[in-house]
């Protein structure tokens, strides 16, 4: 057996094992109301689930945590494992299966999905859950939908949390991202990426399903995404069921030429922006001008993080986000005690 074939079978073997375990765990999670086997003496994170019926289409959802509601805009299956229990003691995160976008089983063709339809779906979820005003959480490119919703409906958004979200998206942005990698990435990081590409070459990816190819490509590009260039992120993708076609269509069509910066200059909704210094997918410097012109924006650059500061520097991320929520929450500031009052 060739080295390339051996690598392929090893990936499939490990991926299958992880996928089976992850699928079993996610099934337990979706139907549980409490954290199973919670350590003695610790409060379990509250979990409930249900289904919203929007225009005749079922939208399963999962709610984790206690406190003011925060809708996570993006793939519902991806974020429960990325947000800490510490945050869930202060925030009630709502993960919704957006049938019009990320779910691989969506009845809609990708060509029918637009930025308008995505924003409308978020609003239908908000109203369907009986929420008058809500916090929004957006990470990476799907966070642009949260930005657009906030721009269109500022009266319905209490706070906007953005983590590693592009300030704009265009061919110019892609050039800036490429230049940032070429000029800022050290030689050892570039060498790590080269090794990953040699280990998981393109012809291997072509043999996989679109989603598996997307997941493995993401893992292959780990040196671009993580402070630790050797970090293996496959665990987050295993057992998940997303539409790689929709993700590709979203990036290359829906937000291919999207720039919200001029409109953000007149938007007063409190905003929290978290960026990783070692995120070569979202160069932190590209936010410099927008950080100066966007009102009510609190930004942090996490010095030992890449694209996922919520797991790379989870304690610091949680502390800064909770403090910001405490300062900017008008309806329930008691949900976000200061450091000295933390239990």
Q: How far apart are CA 116 and CA 122, in angstroms?
A: 10
From first CA to last CA, the distance across the chain in angstroms is 57
Rounded to whole angstroms, how far apart are CA atoms 224 and 221? 6
- pLDDT-above-70 percentage for the chain: 81
Tokens of 312: 């790379």
- Between CA 170 and CA 105 the distance in angstroms is 29
Q: What is the pLDDT of residues 327-343, one digit of tens each?
A: 998 754 334 333 333 32
Whether residue 226 contacts residue 306, with contact meaning beta carbons closer than 8 Å, is answered with: yes
Q: Which of 159-163, 174-178, 272-276, 332-336 has the lowest mean pLDDT?
A: 332-336
CB atoms within 10 A of CB 295: 12
- Burial class of 215 by CB neighbour count within 10 A (0 to 12, 13 to 18, 19+): buried
Label the pairing between strands 157-163 and 92-96. Answer: unpaired
pLDDT at residue 253 is higher than 80: yes
Per-residue model confidence (pLDDT) at position 105: 55
Question: Which pLDDT value is given to residue 227?
Answer: 98
pLDDT at 144 (0 to 100): 97
Average pLDDT score over residue span 226-247: 88
Per-residue pLDDT at 39 exceeds 80: no
Token pair 């100066």: residue: 292
Q: Token pair for residue 230?
A: 């050797």
Report the range of poorest mean pLDDT among 36-45, 174-183, 195-204, 259-268: 36-45
Of the candidates 212, 189, 188, 190, the residue with the CA atom closest to the CA atom of residue 200: 212
Average pLDDT over residues 121-137: 94
269-288 burial, b at 16+ Cβ within 10 Å, e below that, comes to bbbbbbbbbbbbbbbbebbe
Average the pLDDT over each of 55-69, 107-121, 146-160, 195-209 and give the range with the smallest value. 107-121
Length of the chain: 343
If you compute the radius of gyration of the chain from its CA atoms, what whole number of angstroms results?
20
pLDDT of residue 241: 75
pLDDT value for 59: 86
Counting Cα atoms < 13 Å in the Cβ hemisphere of 173 gives 20
Report the range out of 3-12, 111-120, 166-175, 237-246 with the highest average pLDDT.
Answer: 166-175
Output the CA angle 119-123-128, nearest 5 degrees: 145
Tell me how far apart the 2 most distant CA atoms of the chain are, in Å: 64
For residue 31, pLDDT beyond 60: no
- Over the chain, what is the mean pLDDT? 84
* DSSP secondary structure letter of residue 258: B
Residues 90 and 2: their CA atoms lie apart, in Å, by 52
CB atoms within 10 A of CB 168: 19
DSSP string covering 151-172: HH-GGGEEEEEEES--S-BSHH
Please give the domain boundaries of the chain with CATH numbers for all domains. 3-23+174-250 (no CATH), 42-171+257-330 (3.40.50.1820)
What's the rounded mean pLDDT across residues 43-58? 85
Residue 43 pLDDT > 90 = no
Q: List, in sequence order, every beta strand (DSSP E) within the chain.
A: 47-54, 57-64, 69-73, 92-96, 134-139, 157-163, 271-276, 297-302
Task: State yes or no: pLDDT of 285 exceeds 60.
Answer: yes
117 by Cβ neighbours in 10 Å (0-12 / 13-18 / 19+) ranks as middle
Query: Where is 144: in which H helix or E strand?
Result: helix 143-152
Residue with tokens 């960026």: 275
Residue 165 and residue 273: Cα distance in Å, rounded? 8
Q: Where are the beta strands (DSSP E) in 258-314?
A: 271-276, 297-302
């Amino acid at each position: 057996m060739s080295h390339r074939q051996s690598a392929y079978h090893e990936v499939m073997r490990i991926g299958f094992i992880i996928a089976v375990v992850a699928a079993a765990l996610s099934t337990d999670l979706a139907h549980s109301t409490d954290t199973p086997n919670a350590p003695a003496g610790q409060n379990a994170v509250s979990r409930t689930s249900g289904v919203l019926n929007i225009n005749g289409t079922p939208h399963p959802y999962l709610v984790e945590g206690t406190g003011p509601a925060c809708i996570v805009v993006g793939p519902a299956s991806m974020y429960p494992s990325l947000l800490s229990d510490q945050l869930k003691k202060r925030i009630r995160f709502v993960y919704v299966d957006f049938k019009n976008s990320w779910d691989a089983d969506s009845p809609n063709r990708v060509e029918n999905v637009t930025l308008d339809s995505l924003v409308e779906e978020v609003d239908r979820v908000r109203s369907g859950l009986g929420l008058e005003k809500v916090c929004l959480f957006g990470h990476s490119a799907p966070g642009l939908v949260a930005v657009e919703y906030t721009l269109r409906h500022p009266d319905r958004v209490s706070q906007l949390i953005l983590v590693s979200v592009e300030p704009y998206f265009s061919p110019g942005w892609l050039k800036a991202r490429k230049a940032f990698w070429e000029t800022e990435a050290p030689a050892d990081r570039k060498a790590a990426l080269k090794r990953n590409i040699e280990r998981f070459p393109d012809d291997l990816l072509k043999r996989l399903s679109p989603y598996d190819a997307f997941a493995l490509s993401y893992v292959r590009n780990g040196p671009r995404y993580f402070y630790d260039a050797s970090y293996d992120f496959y665990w987050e993708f295993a057992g998940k069921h997303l539409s790689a076609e929709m993700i590709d269509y979203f990036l290359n069509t829906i937000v291919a030429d999207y720039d919200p910066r001029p409109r953000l200059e007149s938007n007063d909704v409190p905003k929290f922006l978290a960026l990783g210094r070692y995120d070569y997918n979202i160069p932190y410097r590209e936010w410099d001008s927008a950080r100066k012109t966007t009102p009510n924006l609190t930004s942090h650059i996490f010095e030992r993080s890449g694209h996922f500061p919520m797991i790379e520097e989870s304690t610091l991320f949680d502390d800064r986000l909770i403090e910001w929520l405490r300062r900017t929450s008008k309806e329930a500031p008691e949900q976000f005690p200061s450091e000295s009052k933390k239990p």
